Chains A and B, each alone.
Chain A
Amino acid sequence: QQPVQSPQAVILREGEDAVINCSSSKALYSVHWYRQKHGEAPVFLMILLKGGEQKGHEKISASFNEKKQQSSLYLTASQLSYSGTYFCGTEKGAGNQFYFGTGTSLTVIP
């Protein structure tokens, strides 16, 4: 039931854009996105709920396609600070098991 993310890894130059995808085989109620830097704990980016709109802040946004059980994270004009591993997380509803995705390693180079 672990969501599958693609791509597994991506290398960008500063200023380039990236899209990270998250797919689940199960019906979803919500999708979370987190970023984890090496040796640190995951840090929350955003949540999308079933029936919710596309969300975003600054140059990072996300969408949630309920019918396809997919979510995408969009990083625009990437900065060096965007480097890290991105995880989606999914659940069927509040109080249910929470599954993190397989992860996407993103490296931004000068």
Chain B
Amino acid sequence: NAGVTQTPKFRILKIGQSMTLQCTQDMNHNYMYWYRQDPGMGLKLIYYSVGAGITDKGEVPNGYNVSRSTTEDFPLRLELAAPSQTSVYFCASRKGDSNQPQHFGDGTRLSIL
């Protein structure tokens, strides 16, 4: 199994550009999450989803959008990129039970210049 796959692994954007970070999982997990991690800091929840068609905001949703049309995919959209969005973005998935761990992708390292 591939687990959680994120693409791209690295990207440099100019201020004002837009892009979509892709995340797909092949474990049939209901729950999916997007986090950002700034250098030397912890993980902050951006958006999460408990199933196809259902999404909700996390701690830091401003400047981002998500959609969940299938169980497998949970793309994160950045509109009008700003330098403050320079970060490492992690996608995670999990079965829909509290006793289940989150499985993380390898991350996307994004720089906004």
Stretch at the interface among A41-49, A59-67, A74-82: A41-49
Are B99 and A102 interface neighbours, CB within 8 A?
A: no
**Is A15 interfacial (CB-CB < 8 Å)?**
no
Are B98 and A87 interface neighbours, CB within 8 A?
A: no
Report the Cα distance A103→B42, complex, angstroms.
6
Interface size grouping (class) on chain B:
20 to 34
Are A41 and B31 interface neighbours, CB within 8 A?
A: no
Most buried by A among B44, B97, B101, B103: B101
**Is B33 interfacial (CB-CB < 8 Å)?**
yes
**Is A107 interfacial (CB-CB < 8 Å)?**
no
Most buried by A among B33, B56, B102: B102
Residues of A with C-beta under 8 A to B41: 103
Q: How many residues of A contact B (CB 8 A)?
A: 26
Are A30 and B33 interface neighbours, CB within 8 A?
A: no
Are A41 and B98 interface neighbours, CB within 8 A?
A: no
Q: Given A41-B104, A95-B50, A98-B33, A47–B99 Cβ distance below 8 Å?
A: yes
Report the Cα distance A93→B99, complex, angstroms.
10
**Contact string against A for B residues 90-108, beta-carbon threshold 8 Å, 1 for contact and 0 otherwise:** 1000001111111111110
Are A97 and B58 interface neighbours, CB within 8 A?
A: yes
Q: Which of B48, B90, B99 contacts A41 (CB 8 A)?
A: B90
**Is B74 interfacial (CB-CB < 8 Å)?**
no
Interface positions of A (Cβ within 8 A of B) = 1-2, 29-30, 32, 34, 40-44, 47, 49, 87, 89, 91, 93-95, 97-103
Known: A97-B48, A100-B43, A102-B42. 18 other contacts (CB 8 A): A30-B99, A32-B101, A32-B102, A34-B102, A40-B106, A41-B105, A41-B107, A42-B43, A42-B102, A49-B98, A87-B43, A91-B98, A94-B96, A95-B96, A97-B56, A98-B58, A99-B59, A103-B41
